[in-house]
Amino acid sequence: MRIPFLRPRPAALSQLVTELRAIEGSGVYSNYGPVNSRLEEALTNRLFGGLGGCLTVNCATTGLILAIRDAAKSSSERKFALMPSFTFAATAHAAIWAGLTPLFCDINPETWTMRECDVEGLLESYRERISCIVPYATFGNCVDLDFYDQLASKYDVGVVIDAAASLGSVDQQGRGFGAGFPHAVVYSMHATKLFATAEAGVIHCGDADRLARLRAMGNFGFGSSRVTTMPGLNSKLSEVGALLGLAKLDHFKDVVASRLTLADSYKAHLPGFTFQRVVGQRIAYGFLPVLLPAALSGQRSELVAAMSRQGIGVRHYFSPHLAEHPFFATLCQTSNLTVTQDISDRILSLPMSDTMTNEEVGIVCATLLNALEFVA
Ligand SMILES: Cc1ncc(COP(=O)(O)O)c(C=O)c1O
């Protein structure tokens, strides 16, 4: 039996012929068109309880660039973007494109999001040199947004949340993660994400002025009359991309629920393993991250190869972590990353998909346990 790491499942365009014909008939293919407006409204209402608003982007990376550029407090001294090293390359690339230098911060050993005491410690020691904080809501886990909002005022810094994997995650109050937050929260709708389209992303924000600014920045920085009044690029989502988003939204609740069942099943099959501590009511799982026992971290590539020989796709996000990538190592600044190193060395990402069954989870776990005995 073959169990791939992911089975991307955007809505089938072949089932959307009527809607595609309507786009052809309208002659509108992009530029915040009517399908896009419907998607933004539907996302706001169905994932964020009607709070704030949504702005689609052609991918989360461009969304992050825009949001960081907008939030950054500029002065010749303020040049750092504080972020975890335990994240995807896009977080650091976005800060660099926005003109900042990533400063890597360690993570909490249980939640795997930036450790709050380290964040404050770095803000204190770097004082006026940090321009923006970019926390990553790791693997869809919630972060304490009030904490970051307070830091924004206390230290006069920008805040942008990288919530690439968080569409469908629910916070402690039962709201979609990020709902109504006054700073930009950026989500991915890439084909490999739980909210799968092809290439797309969305910025959610409770501050209508900020969202309007980001919308204009995403359209070449045009003010009302196609005159550039601010920094800009083209981040617009096509109408076909928006259609894929609307169609995914139809069954999204079921997708999230079925993956929660799979995550529970994984945890039941792997007693004694360390999983990420869930903050908030619910993580929308893209895959299932788990830590190997420390003594076996050196055998991880052997283990992945052994599982691959059995037809099971396993990854290790995020290893290497960003400070270990040659490009970022030369360009970025690093603080003490002891926990990041430990988690990154031991992390294993187990497969999940919309169509995966509990039986398949059992097979993955049995194969993992066998392979562990083999490599130990
Ligand atoms: C943490 C993180 N940030 C940003 C991105 C970028 O998302 P996109 O592919 O939509 O640009 C990803 C994509 O996987 C991600 O994992």
Identify the band that residue 1 occupies on the pLDDT scale cut at 50, 70 and 90.
Answer: confident
Q: Which atom of ligand 1 is nearest to the CA of 317?
A: 16
Q: Judge contact between 172 and 144, C-beta under 8 A.
A: no
Name the residue of 65, 68, 88 to mutate for ligand 1: max ligand atoms within 8 A of Cβ.
88
Task: State the distance from the centre of ligand 1 to the C-alpha of 188, rounded, in angstroms.
Answer: 6
Pocket lining for ligand 1, CB < 6 angstroms: 59-61, 87-88, 90-91, 136, 162, 164-165, 188, 190, 201
Task: State the distance from the centre of ligand 1 to the C-alpha of 60, rounded, in angstroms.
Answer: 6
Q: Judge contact between 101 and 94, C-beta under 8 A.
A: no
Average pLDDT over residues 9-25: 97
Give the number of other Cβ atoms within 10 Å of residue 327's Cβ.
12
Q: Judge contact between 275 and 289, C-beta under 8 A.
A: yes
- 375 pLDDT exceeds 80? no
Q: Judge contact between 82 and 103, C-beta under 8 A.
A: yes
Q: Which atom of ligand 1 is nearest to the CA of 201?
A: 10
Identify the band that residue 272 occupies on the pLDDT scale cut at 50, 70 and 90.
Answer: confident
pTM of the model: 0.98
Nearest partner of 245 among 84, 2, 60, judged by Cα: 60
Distances (CA, A) of 119 to 132, 151, 336: 12, 9, 12
Q: Judge contact between 332 and 101, C-beta under 8 A.
A: yes
CA–CA dist 110, 88 (Å, integer): 19
Task: State the distance from the centre of ligand 1 to the C-alpha of 295, rounded, in angstroms.
Answer: 31
Identify the band that residue 225 occupies on the pLDDT scale cut at 50, 70 and 90.
Answer: confident
Specify the pLDDT at position 198: 98
Rounded to the nearest integer, the mean pLDDT of the chain is 96
